Amino acid sequence: MNKWFKSGSPWIWLSAAGVSISLISVLGLLWLIASRGLSYFWPADLYQFEMLDEQGRTSTVIGEVYDREEIPAKQLVHLDIQLEPGQETIERYLVKTGNRELVSLDFRWILVPQIRKTSTPENIAVIERRTNGNFYGVIESLVLDGNSVSLDKMPELLERVEAFQEEIEALQKVDIGAINYKLERLRLTERKHQLGNNLTDEIANEINTQVQILKDEYKVLEAKLMSLRDTVSRDQLVVKAMDGTLVTIGFEDILQINFNNQMNVLEKLKLFFVQIGNFITDDPREANTEGGVFPAIFGTVLMVLLMTVIVSPLGVVAAIYLHEYAGNNALTKLLRIAVINLAGVPSIVYGVFGLGFFVYMVGGNLDQLFYPETLPSPTFGTPGVMWSAITLAILTLPVVIVSTEEGLARIPSAMRHGSLALGATKAETLWRIILPIASPAIMTGIILAIARAAGEVAPLMLVGVVKMAPNLPLDGNFPFLHLDRKFMHLGFHIYDVGFQSPNVEAARPLVYATALLLVTIIVALNMTAVSIRNRLREKYRMLEH
Amino acid sequence: MTIALKSTGPRQLKNSLAKWLITLGGISVLFTLVLIFMYLLYVIKPIFVSAEIDKKQAFEITTSENVASIGIDELKELSYVITDDGQIDYYQLVETNQHQVGEQVYSQSLLAEDITLDQIIDISIEEKLLVGENGQVQLVSPKFMSQFAKDIRTIVPNITYPLGEDPITIDQEGQALSLVSFAMNDERAVFVAFTKDNRLIKTTLIAEDDFSYDAAHEAVYQEIDTQSSHFDDILVTPDLAMVFARSGDQVFVYDLSDDYDVELKATIIPQLSQNRTKSLHITSMALLSGSSSILLGDSSGKVSQWFEVAGEEGREFKQVRTFQAADNQKITAIYTEQFRKSFYTMTATGELGLFYTTSEAELWRGQLNSIEPVHLSISPRADALISLSGKSFSIFTVENEHPEVTWSALWKEVWYEGYPEPEYIWQSTSGSDDFEAKFSLVPISFGTIKAASYAMLFAVPIALTAAIYTAYFMTPSMRRKVKPTIELMEALPTVILGFLAGLWLAPIIEKYLPAVALLLLFLPLSVFLTAYLWFKLPKEIKIKLPETLAPLLLIPALLLAAYSAFSLSPVLEHYFFGGDVRQFITNDLNIDFDQRNALVVGIAMGFAVIPTIFSMAEDAIFSVPKHLTSGSLALGATQWQTLVKVVLLTASPGIFSAVMMGLGRAVGETMIVLMATGNTPILDWNFFEGMRTLAANIAVEMPESEVGSTHYRILFLAAFVLFVFTFIFNTAAEFIRQRLREKYSSL
């Protein structure tokens, strides 16, 4: 034993434990997010519990089991539950019962000892709706235009409604949205002429005619919308809820009807992927706690792309300067310290700087100069996607610089010398020889910058992210890309839904799913960057010999 | 054959152009950093600038009667004087097409017909009380309004009578009044007056409906039992709770909360240090905005602030702080601002002082005129002073945007109104208007250090041991896989770590608190046990399971240890903590417990910091020259001895710089702290309670702060503190690393 301690072996094992704990935590974290996130999409079994409560009343609870936990029996002494001898804990289930119009909370805890019978009847349907969340119940009848029809018609009716709903959405978002946008532009044009004191009667008339035309168009569209809404709400579904009440649900409200208990694994798998697809492509519903995250994905991607456009040239140029041009002097040392510090400054400081400098100072002045007609409501003098992109570009600048410089450092100097010896200028050597060889390193830097930017939330909370953006920053209205608009972001979505939403319990699975999506994107980006870098290192090693 | 060379001119031009552009791009990085630094400073600077008072203009008024009161509109375009006989004359202050500066533009009588004016009392900037000889008063509010004609704005008088135009009888006996004080809200108007025949009376007008649209009221008269036969000052607080009546060097405080009964609440007797030549006296009194503090000026030039404090014998008035407003000069008057805790003092020689109570700041002292002005008034927006001496009317601009901030108010204990003692408090906003903002950076800086310390406590041991093993003991093939995996953790968005910490980890830790303590014991134990078991294994198996696989062998052991800790937790809880640890901690140990506490933050932020420290420390250890270790091993040292005595010693600056970088990251981390704590700014190391950090504070409050306000600038200051803090850490770490690299290359 003593010899064992003297050999230092226990301490080596202890240091190995550091590696083990780190590995367990990384992999455990990824596994936790993956399992929780993916289970959100998997069609769960629907249970029917026959309950007998302490007052001897019976009731039926239908829903998905969300969570199980053991609680000390002591806490439930007042319920007078029959315990096995020696039993100290009681199991309870958290059941999602949905049906928000009937009961105020769509989750409830049930105690296992109070369950008399558990079954999974095949006829229970889970109805996903546009409002009020899921509905669990047994479908009683189908009402087509006032007449009861066979239940077989359901898929057909669902398809019909879906087609109409898509039309309505297109009408609302695209056509009517465009008219509103144009009307606002006309108002601003008029105001601009007023401010410039050149609003002649001619211009005013011209604007008024256009406004009139648009308003007429609007009336036509509105009428069309109304008639569509009438058509879509033709059919109803009558469902029996767990307490026996019959509820009529209009088809216009229904997104999906699934009989989870009738499905086999393949069908479930299919639904699983459909759900993932919907999550990625749908808009959020019910104050972000249901539906998809499409606007957040879109906002994140657009902001990151804008950022890439800004950060790539700057970072590459700075790295080239540092490695190829800078002499070994005080300025270079200062520059290196600046790069290190830009990487180390807390991200929230960038947010503060972006808000004060870009939004209020630069943006405020831009508004004074170019958009006086919209004042006092600001155009660029308010947080938006452009300022977010610029702020994050500064934040990720050191990532690109460091990675590019590393790539440049690995290029054997023989290649530079060769090119210069053949008479090429330094600029030509750079452009024709160095940059092409270093391009994978640059790529790595950009990918890492993108990964960093995609996960950054704190500065964005100050310079442009919102929980619910009414319009995407990119749409069909001229000038198509609206850099002044606010946007949604996956990371902020997690923070907002997980911590600011009124019903955290209901939203938690969605937050896990969003987190999984974000982690997948970022881990994938990082792995790509790392593999590019590794391949590059191998290549250079070969060049050197 | 000749080779046709491209003309060198454009090529050279391109070459030098590229050089300049690239240099410019390189320098821009430095420029960005300097820009951030300078911009933060630029925003912060105004809060540390002292106040300035400058004379703007002066003119002679043409009113011939004696002036009793003066005033100005909020845009400083029109001023007025009210004469002894109730006439109000308006004077133009800015030049327009029709009027010149100093021209009398309007004139009007304020007085009802059957009243003979005795005196005029300034109740506030916008309210003047005209006191008649027979104990009747009229409340006048000389306000202003803007009129627009052809897009040109003009300010015109708008005189209102909040209690009606008819005179109101204050004294039922019809005696003249020597002192009157008054305050009102929508339901009540309270007058407290001292009559010429030495009675202290209180008259309450109770509105029939609401004074804001109907002056109809019913009056309640009563006489207050006094302890003194003479009074010098009477002040009713704007919230109608108290009246302060000064008689010589004593101030009597009466409770006004009962409409029909006035009781003596307290007596303030200031301890006046007796001067050798002359005895000191209280010479003036004023109410500070917010109606809880009173200011007393004495004949030696001191002003003291008093407010009610919960003491041992209930609530009592205490002297909280004093200001030396003049050197051995009598304070003749104290003027307080309407919305802020600033006040002006005036002496007989015309020396003016400007102070702010909360920050104990002396903002300005100096001479406005050579003599004491007869009248002085503060403009409604507190951005100007007006004075009248003789017939000369002067306007002074006051630049005093951020009086509430001084270096000492930010970093030292401050005695806030209503608190029993000086404290460090961060409380930037509140629902009420007369709220005293509490901007102490101490609690949030403390929170930052607390969060960072707990994170380091968790991260440093794990990260360093992992780095040591990976760099020194691990096989190259394993290292190639392990290092990127751990570094992957750095790429995980902190918002996800924060979310998991707040919604997943915090409830688990709360539920299995004994397990967390057990883990501290079980994890090392399980490691030693596994190591010993391996040591005792027969040789054949040892060859198949070499020591280099230790990290992998340990994974199941550690998981098993964790599992047993968690399953033992309820048992432990049952036998030692009465079934509920949380209750045990709060009730038996008297320690506050939050679900989202420093322990959770420490673990979550520790995870965020581990890869930073690991990666840099591993680099430092790995790049220790191989011949050093070979030498040591050749001389007979064991692996472990070589590591401790040679490798770690050589790499120690690099390890130190890795820890510094980690600390820098922990200090500035926002999302984890924001999500995994309750964000309460408290000063307590207790790891069962949360904290609020500088970064989280910015994220929470910045979106709501008004641009350019003191609060906004202080948040910038918080960002600046973070910036400077991390700058120092990063620069030091980088410096150390550079030195180390030079040392290695010379070895």
Average of pLDDT values for A67-90?
A: 73
More confident residue, A72 or A274: A274
pLDDT of residue B170 exceeding 90, the answer is no
Contact at 8 Å (CB) between A503 and A497?
Answer: no
pLDDT tens track for B131-163:
888 888 888 888 888 888 777 788 888 888 888
CA distance A266 to chain B (A): 32
Mean pLDDT of B672-692: 87
Q: State residue A494's pLDDT score.
A: 92
Of A13, A430, A456, the CB nearest to B550: A13
What is the per-residue pLDDT across B497-510, written as a single tens digit (0 to 9) for each? 999 999 899 988 88
Nearest to A16 among B469, B699, B716 (CB): B469
What's residue A159's pLDDT? Answer: 86
Put simply, the chain A residues between 130 and 189 with a CB less than 8 A from any chain B CB are: none
Which residues from chain B sit within 8 angstroms of residue A195, using beta carbons? none
Q: Which residue has the higher pLDDT, A23 or B361?
A: A23
Q: For residue B433, what pLDDT band results from cuts at 50, 70 and 90?
A: low
More confident residue, A298 or B209: A298
Instruction: Write the residue in B488, B532, B669 that is nearest to A526 by C-beta.
Output: B488
| Residues B678 and B593 sit within 8 Å (Cβ to Cβ) | no
Closest alpha carbon to A497 in A292, A216, A227, A332: A292
Question: What band does B273 get if pLDDT is binned at 50, 70 and 90?
Answer: low
Q: Of chain B residues 558-597, which have a CB less than 8 A from chain A?
A: 558-559, 570, 574, 579-580
Chain B contact set for A4 (CB, 8 A): 532, 535
pLDDT of residue B1: 45
What's the mean pLDDT in B342-361? 87
- Quick check: A386 and A488 in contact, CB under 8 A? no
Burial class (CB in 10 A: 0-12, 13-18, 19+), A349: buried
- pLDDT score for B99: 82
Q: In which band, very low, low, confident or very high, does the pLDDT at B432 lie, cut at 50, 70 and 90?
A: low
Here the tokens at position A59 are 């009731």
Q: Between B491, B532, B551, which is nearest A526 by CB?
A: B491
What's the sign of the alpha-carbon dihedral B573, B575, B580, B583?
Answer: negative
Residues in Cβ contact with A545 at an 8 Å cutoff, skipping those fewer than 6 apart = none
**Whole-number Å distance between alpha carbons of B464 and B477:** 20
pLDDT digits (tens, 9 = 90+) for A345-390: 999 999 999 999 999 999 999 988 888 877 788 888 889 999 999 9
Check A12 against B535: CB less than 8 A apart. Answer: no
Q: Using CB atoms, which residue from A17, A326, A352 is nearest to B554?
A: A17
Whether residue B720 is predicted with pLDDT greater than 90 in this model: the reply is: yes
Most A CBs within 10 Å, among B8, B465, B584, to test the A interface: B465
Per residue in A342-356, pLDDT tens? 888 999 999 999 999
Give the pLDDT score at B455. Answer: 94
Rounded Cα distance between B124 and B481, Å, is 76
> Does the structure show a pLDDT above 70 at B4?
no
Cβ-Cβ pairs closer than 8 A, A with B, add up to 328
Cβ–Cβ gap A356/B610 under 8 Å: no
pLDDT one-digit tens code per residue, A422-453? 989 999 999 988 988 888 889 889 988 998 89
Q: Is B282 on the interface with A (CB under 8 A)?
A: no
- β pairing state of B250-255 and A135-144: unpaired
Tell me the per-residue pLDDT of A5-37, one tens digit each, with 9 for 90 and over.
777 888 889 999 999 999 999 999 999 999 999
pLDDT for res B724 = 92
Nearest chain B CA: its distance from A535 CA (Å): 13
pLDDT digit string (tens) for A246-282? 888 888 888 888 888 888 899 999 999 999 999 999 8
Please state which CATH class domain B447-709 belongs to.
mainly alpha
Domain ranges of chain B: 54-164+370-405, 447-709
Which stretches does DSSP call E strand in A284-385? Answer: 284-285, 290-291
Going by their DSSP bridges, the two strands B426-427 and B438-439 should be labelled as antiparallel
pLDDT higher than threshold 80 for residue A214: yes
- The DSSP 8-state label assigned to residue B417 in this structure reads T
Question: For the segment B599-646, what is each residue's pLDDT rounded down to a tens digit?
Answer: 999 999 999 999 999 999 998 898 888 888 899 999 988 888 898 888
The confidence band for B2, taking pLDDT boundaries of 50, 70 and 90, is very low
| CB atoms near residue A208 (< 10 Å) | 12
* Least CB–CB distance from B23: residue in A27, A325, A425: A325
Chain B residues with CB-CB distance to A15 below 8 A: 465-466, 468-469, 473
A24 close contact with B: CB closer than 8 A: yes
Q: What DSSP state is assigned to residue A356?
A: I
Q: How many CB atoms lie within 10 A of CB A416?
A: 18
- Please report the DSSP string for B277-339 in residue order: SS---EEEEEEPTTSSEEEEEETTSEEEEEEEEEETTEEEEEEEEEEE-SSS--EEEEEE-SS
- State the average pLDDT for chain A: 87
CB neighbour list of residue A436: distance below 8 Å, 6 or more residues apart: none
For residue B5, pLDDT over 60 is answered with no
A8 class by beta-carbon count within 10 Å (0-12 exposed, 13-18 middle, 19+ buried): middle
Contact list, B675 vs chain A (CB under 8 Å): 495, 498-499
CA of A261 to nearest chain B CA: how many angstroms apart?
Answer: 30
Q: Which helix (H) or strand (E) holds B68?
A: strand B67-72
Q: Say whether B640 and A17 touch across the interface (CB within 8 A).
A: no
The chain A residue lying nearest B669, using CA atoms, is A346
Query: Does B45 reach chain A within 8 Å, measured CB to CB?
Result: no
Q: A6, A13, A26, A518: which to substitute to probe chain B, counting the most B Cβ within 10 Å?
A: A13
Residues of A in contact with B39 (CB under 8 A): 353, 356-357, 361
